[in-house]
Amino acid sequence: MLLSPRMLGLHLLALVAVAATVLLGVWQLSVWQQHRQDTALSLVHAKPVPLNSVLTSDAPFPAVGLGRPVSFAGAWLPRSTLYVTDRVLHGHRGVWAVTPVAVCGPADDCAKAPAILVVRGWTRSVAAAPAPPQGRVRVTGWLQPGEGTGLNDPDPRDDVLPELRVASAIQHVDQDLYGGYVIARRVSTGSTSGGGSANGLEAVTPASLPQPSSTTALRNLLYALQWWVFTGFAVFLWVRWCRDEVIRVTGVGSDE
């Protein structure tokens, strides 16, 4: 009875509905993924703007700040240098060398100024990292929110972190920290100017930037989930219709 000409039309309609909703969900998911990648890379080559025009020391990280090139001046805090493990560059695992910069002007007291974490570059191990820089500096780089996947730090007292979480880094810095960090593209001092390779470290490239938050382009992700809910509803109706047809013809399963 379920293979009668009338029911075959129902089966065909149900299969078309299920296939269409599944494919529409997959399409929206791909749009979400592509949008996240575009968001991370769209600002890579934009003109840098002053750091404090995007993020201030007492403000949460803004969504528009993700990947934005910024510039600022200040002084290195070499005694607060940190190393972030499990960082991949060109297929090799190593560490990020991170030194905070107190954001301050020439006439300011840098010892009281808020600082921002600066990823100076990549190296294969902590032992291979060059000594942290000192003195005044001007930095241009890509602004990123602090990481926070919940990785456990086996030794919170050392200067090695499993991820660049601002809440963890602040325990190693005696000054207030901005709610994000900067991956250095260009570092200028009184005598030198360059990127990662110029200071004995491999430069961290835009392709190495962390993936944006899963909430980026959230609407497309919700659309994908919505289509898959429709898929489940279509399957439910299909099964219910077939069940009702069996009951109508055979009476099996009816309440009578």
Which among 92, 111, 90 is positioned nearest to 100, based on CA atoms?
111
What burial letters (b/e) apply to 61-94, b meaning 16+ CB within 10 Å?
Answer: beeebbbbbbbbbbbbbeebbbbbbebebeeeeb
- Is it the case that residue 154 has pLDDT exceeding 70? yes
By mean pLDDT, which of 55-59, 150-154, 229-233 is the weakest?
Answer: 150-154
Mean pLDDT on 127-136: 94
- Per-residue pLDDT band for 19 (boundaries 50, 70, 90) equals confident
**What is the pLDDT at residue 48?**
92
Q: What is the pLDDT of residue 37?
A: 57
Residue 54: pLDDT band with limits 50, 70, 90: very high
Per the listing, tokens 């960090």 go with 181
Taking residues 211-237, what's their average pLDDT?
68
pLDDT digits (tens, 9 = 90+) for 163-209: 999 999 999 999 999 999 999 999 998 655 566 655 789 998 766 65
- In tens, the pLDDT along 73-129 reads 999 999 999 999 999 888 899 999 999 999 999 888 999 999 999 999 999 999 999
CB of 31 closer than 8 Å to CB of 41 = no
Alpha-carbon gap, residue 240 to 233, rounded angstroms? 10
Q: What is the pTM of this model?
A: 0.66
In the predicted structure, residue 23 carries a pLDDT above the cut 60 = yes
Determine the pLDDT at residue 40: 54
Query: What is residue 256's predicted lDDT score, i.e. its pLDDT?
Result: 47
Determine the average pLDDT of the residues in 243-255.
Answer: 69
